[in-house]
Amino acid sequence: MDVTIARPAGYDLDLEVMARVRAACAARGSRLIVTDDVDAAYDGAHVVYAKNWGSLERYGQAPSQDPAFKDRWRVTTSKMTRTARAHFMHCLPVRRNVVVDDSVLDGPDSVVVDEAENRLHTAKAVLLTLLGAGSPAVKEDACQTPSTR
C-alpha cells in the first residue's frame, strides 16, 4: 500500500513519527509521498483519511483563519472525484463543512459510521484482553462479532 501524506507547508509531522512511517513503508516495499499539493494527493487515492493536526514548530500559535487556507484543505466532492472512488474516513467528531463537506461525509463512499462502530468492538477486545480471556469474570460471548451490513 502506497501512502501519501498531504499537509500544508510547515505542518510536518514529528520527525520520530515520520522515521517510523518511512521504515514501515520501506519494510513493505511501499512508497511514501509527503506533499503540500492537496489536489495531487487525491489523484488515484483509494482511501482518504482526513485528520487535522498541529505542527511542533507552530505549537501555541493559532492556526490560519484565512478562509482560502481552510477551503483549500477541506475535503470536497470535487476533490474526491480525483480519487479512484476512495472511501472517506475520519475518526470523528468532525466539523461539517469546515473539515469535510456534508456531501462527502454523508455520501455513499463514507465509512465513518462503520469506523466508529469498529472502535467499539476494538475497545471491547482490548478490555477482554486486559481482564484475561480465561478469567471467570469474562463470559465466553463477551465480545461479539461486529455487525455486518
pTM over 0.95: no
| pLDDT tens digits for range 44-81 | 999 999 987 766 777 777 767 777 888 899 999 999 99
Which CATH number is associated with domain 3-110? 3.40.50.1370
Cβ atoms 99, 51 nearer than 8 A = no
How is the chain split into domains, by residue range?
A: 3-110, 113-149
* Positive or negative torsion for Cα 75, 79, 80, 82: negative
92: left (phi over 0), alpha (psi -120 to 50) or beta: left
